[in-house]
Structure 1
Amino acid sequence: MTLPAVPSSALRWSALMLCCALASLLLQFLNMPAGALIGPMGVSILFGIFVGRLALPRVLFKSGQGVIGLLIAQSMTLSVLSTILAEWPAMLLATAITLALSTVVGIGLVRYGGLPGTTAAWGTTPGAASAMVLMAEEANADPRIVAAMQYVRVISVVLAGALVSHWLGVSPSAAQADNGPQWLPAHPAGLAASAALLLVGVTLCDRLLPAGALLGPMFLGSLVQLSGVIELEVPLPVLEIAYACIGIYVGLRFDRETVRNVMHAFKWMLLASLLLIACCALSALLLVKLMQSDFLTLYLATSPGGLDAMTIIALETNADVAIVAALQVLRLFVVILIGPSMARFVARFARDNG
């Protein structure tokens, strides 16, 4: 009797899932911050380049972002909200510094990196990577190169954030031991509310807002959490799956075609990302006294990575999640408002424009 053949795609997915799980467990065993994100992301990059023909459904990526939004909402209290409202001038200053630094780095990249002006400009704009790719496509920039530039920076920021927190001696296990997500929900009603908010975020908010799958659950969940009527619940297994979905989705974006398209300018893209990270770290150091917060929190808040990735590291390192989320969201909205103007300004400095 002949057994039915297993489709090659099923074999590839099985191998990917197994390798991602092993990488995640290894990094978490080594107490690497955001190991459940970094492990699957690294494995998926290798699979995307050397195996190919795999793409995680976008709804899973959006669902992963929604879970992160719920986690941010869980951290919201009236005292945290009052702190954010009191610090808004400093937050605006921090946002302006990050955008100014990204503009300077973007000008350098379009001038010497050999990439089309508008495409390079969108690729260096700090915001939610998925939102920046969509906006770049509407502006007639090459979405593949913009996506590669955005995700190279996201990966660089995630790795740098994990290394900085490790260098500061912050352990994920120590940070989450007491108040982190648990394996089993303590309040079924809170779990049901979280599931409902996640569904609303992925199906409705994502159509109405840039990065709506993340921002919708975050804003709506914050209102629920601040009301005191119900306490949101996100079990640890759901959190781990969300981390993996985000990491796999980002990693699989790096296929052979994308790598070929950006290989000639990859060193400039990586240099631009590292330079921007270093500049933001210096600005965070200057803001420590101004905002009366710790360096790790402000480093994550000003880092030019995605809101979801920075929140994951903040959650695992006991940084002030509310401040990190507030600054990242503020910058995202500012970029959405002025992003096209920033891109046009940066593009003027490209060699092919003059």
Structure 2
Amino acid sequence: MAERGWRARAVDLALVVAAALAVTLALDVLDLPSPSLFGGLVAGLVRGLAGRRGLAVPRPATTAAQGLIGVSIGALVDLDTLGAITRDWLPVLLVTVGTLLLSVLAGLLMRLQPGVSPVTGAFAMVAGGASGITAMARELGADDRMVAVLQYLRVLLIVVLMPVAAAALFGAEPGSGGPTVADAGPGWPAGLLFAAVCLAAGAPLARLLRIPVPTLLGPMLVAAGLDLGGLSGGADVPAPLETAAFLVIGLVVGLNFDRDGLRTVGRALPLALAVILGLVAACAGLGAVLAATTGASALDAYLATTPGGLYAVLATAQDGGADATFVLAVQVLRLFVMLLSAPLLARWLRHTGE
């Protein structure tokens, strides 16, 4: 009987994964952000609501997915990128801290919605690092279902509105940046070795140093260290592994949905939409401050402070003739500040508000 039950669960999980892959392909065709995470979320949500028995992703798969997302984020760091903000480091740092404070304020506003805890509200509104925040949300005491939906609602709005705002308000000229040549890196074998080293060393090192969420932040910091030390050779997580990691995190969140959870998220959407639009506008204000205190153009500063949608932001910067290196540097700095601050933020909110 036990073996039969194990086989039934394995078949059930395999069918959900197949459905997630199908949704991922459809969303990829539509050019939506993070299609594999959304694919896993949708497939998991449908199974979570329709299934009579609960279904969970095996813990080792979840741990590996968190680690791979950490490695992928850590690999964004390099000396050339960070060198772009060396001269203006103080204004950039102040704007980054300002974004964190705006995220906390937005999260406190979300507390007006019944059923939203301080930690959940703050994590749902953290401006940047949507995939990392979603992956660590449950471990830090937030409702990962609410966090995932609201984080990617913000990303979707930014992807839609940002190119229009960049052209209409900040003078971006689509096509003026010319074609860009992507750096293919050293290939997937080196990327696989890079990811394996970061995973093997990251979590144990983070536990030794008592860093919170060691399965994500440990590999992230090791990957960043290897990049900054010139030891990575430009390697990155192979695309299929990165896709699988996002899909697993989406499944983990989706499978936890039930009807009550779905109703809670649905009731929060009107307030969340208003708060997100306010956050986007406030971050544009920080962009104006950044432009006034540095040599960055209004377009560069706006794109650098846009709260999320990193790859869409870079594509707009490259296509619109902005300084993509400066934009990436500010975005990556903010990404690291948000993710490394998240455990401290969660602890403080639990202590003061719960």
Which TM-score applies when normalising by structure 1?
0.72
Structure 1 residues 77, 151: CA separation in 2 closer, same or farther (over 3 Å shift)?
closer
Residue identity matched to 2:276? I
Q: Could you tell me how far 1:130 is from its partner in structure 2?
A: 5.4
Indicate which of 233, 241, 244 corresponds to 1:241: 244
Structure 1 residues 100, 44: CA separation in 2 closer, same or farther (over 3 Å shift)?
same
Q: Distance in 2 between matches of 1:12 and 1:90?
A: 52
Q: Distance in 1 between matches of 2:80 and 2:73?
A: 15
Matched residues, percent identical? 24
Equivalence map 1:271-350=2 (5 Å): 271-289=270-288, 290=290, 292=296, 293=300, 295-299=302-306, 302-303=307-308, 320-343=327-350, 345=352
- Unaligned runs of 5+ residues in structure 2 are 127-132, 168-173, 319-323
Counterpart in 2 of 1:350?
none
Q: Distance in 2 between matches of 1:257 and 1:176?
A: 48
Structure 1 residues 130, 35: CA separation in 2 closer, same or farther (over 3 Å shift)?
closer
Indicate which of 144, 149, 153 corresponds to 2:146: 149
Q: Distance in 2 between matches of 1:23 and 1:85?
A: 42
Residues 67-108 of structure 1 deviation map (CA, whole Å, 9 limit, x = unaligned): 233333333322212235545433443344344444444444
Counterpart in 2 of 1:227?
229
Residues 95-134 of structure 1 deviation map (CA, whole Å, 9 limit, x = unaligned): 4434444444444444x4334xxx6212112353454544
Residues 182-234 of structure 1 deviation map (CA, whole Å, 9 limit, x = unaligned): 8xx63744532331112223455367322333322222222222333441242
CA contact (8 A) 1:70 1:217 kept: yes
Equivalence map 1:6-17=2 (5 Å): 7-17=7-17
- Secondary structure at the aligned position of 1:329 is classed as helix
CA contact (8 A) 2:203 2:215 kept: yes
Count of matched residue positions in the alignment of Structure 1 and Structure 2: 316
Answering whether residue 251 of structure 2 is matched by residue 252 of structure 1, we say no
Q: Could you tell me how far 1:335 is from its partner in structure 2?
A: 4.4
Q: Distance in 2 between matches of 1:189 and 1:148?
A: 35
Residue identity matched to 1:10? A
- Unaligned runs of 5+ residues in structure 1 are 137-142, 304-309, 348-354
CA contact (8 A) 1:101 1:276 kept: no
Q: Distance in 1 between matches of 2:49 and 2:184?
A: 34
CA contact (8 A) 1:315 1:321 kept: yes
Residue identity matched to 1:210? P
Equivalence map 1:105-144=2 (5 Å): 105-110=106-111, 112-115=112-115, 120-126=117-123, 128-129=133-134, 131-136=136-141
Q: Distance in 2 between matches of 1:176 and 1:69?
A: 30
Counterpart in 2 of 1:218?
220
Structure 1 residues 44, 313: CA separation in 2 closer, same or farther (over 3 Å shift)?
farther
Q: Distance in 1 between matches of 2:301 and 2:59?
A: 35
Q: Distance in 1 between matches of 2:145 and 2:350?
A: 17
Q: Distance in 2 between matches of 1:19 and 1:61?
A: 18
Counterpart in 1 of 2:321?
none
Q: Could you tell me how far 1:338 is from its partner in structure 2?
A: 4.8
Residue identity matched to 1:36? S
Equivalence map 1:16-165=2 (5 Å): 16-51=16-51, 53-110=54-111, 112-115=112-115, 120-126=117-123, 128-129=133-134, 131-136=136-141, 146-164=143-161
Residues 134-159 of structure 1 deviation map (CA, whole Å, 9 limit, x = unaligned): 444xxxxxx6xx34433332342343
Which moved further from structure 2: 21-30 or 320-329?
320-329
Residue identity matched to 1:298? T
Residue identity matched to 2:121? T
Q: Distance in 1 between matches of 2:199 and 2:339?
A: 20
Q: Could you tell me how far 1:315 is from its partner in structure 2?
A: 7.8
Residues 299-320 of structure 1 deviation map (CA, whole Å, 9 limit, x = unaligned): 2xx35xxxxxx66766887775
- Secondary structure at the aligned position of 2:84 is classed as helix
Q: Could you tell me how far 1:327 is from its partner in structure 2?
A: 0.8
Q: Distance in 2 between matches of 1:213 and 1:124?
A: 23
Q: Distance in 1 between matches of 2:248 and 2:219?
A: 17
Q: Could you tell me how far 1:242 is from its partner in structure 2?
A: 1.8
Q: Distance in 1 between matches of 2:203 and 2:23?
A: 28
CA contact (8 A) 1:62 1:202 kept: no
Q: Distance in 2 between matches of 1:20 and 1:272?
A: 29
Structure 1 residues 282, 346: CA separation in 2 closer, same or farther (over 3 Å shift)?
farther
Counterpart in 2 of 1:307?
none
Q: Distance in 2 between matches of 1:237 and 1:297?
A: 28
- Secondary structure at the aligned position of 2:26 is classed as helix
CA contact (8 A) 2:20 2:39 kept: yes
CA contact (8 A) 1:33 1:166 kept: no
Residues 15-36 of structure 1 deviation map (CA, whole Å, 9 limit, x = unaligned): 2122111111112122223222
